[in-house]
Amino acid sequence: MSAETFQRARRPEQKRRRQDAILDAARDLARRDGVGNVSLADIAGRVGIHKSALLRYFETREQIFLELTAAAWREWAQALHGALDQAERGSADLVADVFARGFGDRPLLCDLIAHTPLNLERNVSPEAVRRYKLTSLGAVEEAAALVQRVLPALTAEEGREFVTALASLAGAVWQIANPPPALAELYASDPELGHACVDLVPRLRRTAEILLAGLIPSRNQG
Amino acid sequence: MSAETFQRARRPEQKRRRQDAILDAARDLARRDGVGNVSLADIAGRVGIHKSALLRYFETREQIFLELTAAAWREWAQALHGALDQAERGSADLVADVFARGFGDRPLLCDLIAHTPLNLERNVSPEAVRRYKLTSLGAVEEAAALVQRVLPALTAEEGREFVTALASLAGAVWQIANPPPALAELYASDPELGHACVDLVPRLRRTAEILLAGLIPSRNQG
């Protein structure tokens, strides 16, 4: 085996390891500082390579975060299977609780959801967006099928409506529930701003309960 | 009257006129290009002044957009009064339709809602955020009271839950419903991405109907 063949064979494995290191660095920084506060230079600095070297592995900062979002959707759907595959049928409260905690336990996914249409899909190639969309739509389909399994009164479309509404809300409400420290202090100290304080999981659980209560009887009236 | 007194008397009026010109420029650009694509330099360029001169009137780019958001909430609440003050009681469908169109008719408000916790509240003074929050929370209270007037079966808190959930969704769904041209083309041409296409007003109307259906019977079961 020539040196050249050896190097060629090693290359895909090395490349994947380098990509994983970049994704890990971006994930750590985003968890600590928030997705919106992490630049390409921050990620490169943490990996210990130059920005231009980093761009050999990913198109843009946004593509790195889009890959993290896809991975987070897959892991989220997997966790829902764990919580709902053996669940007793008919309990809307269980579904509401599992979905609220499914987002509450994944702050990075919530932060990423809000950034996706606003930023992440806007600075990458259509092909990268397509790959991402197939993953996120697939995760939503899987989650909708689980909802329908536990609540057979719902149609597939109604399961999808529930999941997409709650996912959009998880992204939006997480941002409101996690203000910068100076604002958290302001909201807590000013009685007039009491309604500006939001607690993510109770709020999502309550909205999930309302949505399911609205969906379940909707066809009985028809 | 000395020249000096004359100039002093004119100053607040001149200042307000300059502020209005800046707000108008930012509004025009944001409507055309999207809030996320408008920089401080863009706004200064359109007004025809230097960036540093602009910062005599507003703290930051974000404060300019926060002022526009406050104005948009006030105008939105005013329009709801027009649509619901004389409305017949008991029609959840009317409320759902009025709220869906209330957001659908105001693309700039929807775009701003998504940007507010993510960006606009993060680069301004706590005092500017406080003023903004009092306006937005006031608009939500007004809207919740209107919902409760038409649907007296709801409590004030339930009216507020409906309005805040729908407002958060309006912000999130508007971004999804308004992708950049390259993505809109991709979604329309690829059958596997059919669910990536969203139509704002029908989607909001449908979710509003589900939320109201879920809220209205909720106490009857208790």
- How many pairs of residues across A and B have Cβ atoms under 8 Å apart? 128
Residue A219 Rama label (left phi>0; alpha psi -120 to 50; beta): alpha
Residues 6+ apart with CB under 8 A from A98: A80, A83, A84, A87
Mean pLDDT of B101-115: 98
Chain A residues within an 8 Å CB radius of B190: 130
Q: How confident is the model at residue A136 (pLDDT cuts 50, 70, 90)?
A: very high
CB of A171 closer than 8 Å to CB of A110: yes
Q: Does position B79 have pLDDT exceeding 90, yes or no? A: yes
Split at pLDDT 50, 70, 90, the class of A128 is very high
- What percentage of chain B carries pLDDT values higher than 90? 85
Tell me if chain A has a CB within 8 Å of the CB of B206: yes
The string of pLDDT tens digits covering residues B116-136 is: 999 999 999 999 999 999 999
Residues B12-49 as b or e (16 or more Cβ within 10 Å = b): eeeeeebbebbbebbbebbeeebbbebebebbbebbeb
Q: Helix, strand or coil for residue A222? A: coil
**What amino acid is encoded at A92 in this protein?**
A
Average pLDDT over residues B57-62: 96
- Radius of gyration for the alpha carbons in chain A, expressed in angstroms and rounded: 21
What pLDDT shows up at residue A64?
98
The ipTM is 0.91
- Tell me which chain B residue has its CA closest to the CA of residue A164: B173
Contact A62, A124 (CB under 8 A): yes
Residues A96 and B83: their CA atoms lie apart, in Å, by 33
In tens, the pLDDT along B185-200 reads 999 899 899 888 899 9
Q: Is A213 in Cβ contact with B218 (below 8 Å)?
A: yes
pTM, entire model: 0.92
In Å, how far from its chain's centre is CA B2? 45
How far is the C-alpha of A216 from the C-alpha of B189, rounded, in Å? Answer: 34
pLDDT given for residue B10 in this prediction? 64
Asked if A182 is an interface residue toward chain B (Cβ–Cβ < 8 A), one would say yes
Residue in B115, B186, B218 nearest the CB of A130: B186
Instruction: Answer whether A117 sits within 8 Å of B190, measured CB to CB.
Output: no
* Structure token pair of residue B5: 């007194």
* A119 contact B CB<8A: yes
At residue B4, the pLDDT reads: 46
Give dist(CA B83, CA B77) in Å, integer: 10
**Alpha carbon distances (Å) from A70 to A117, B65, B93, B114:** 13, 31, 37, 21
The mean pLDDT value for A57-84 works out to 97
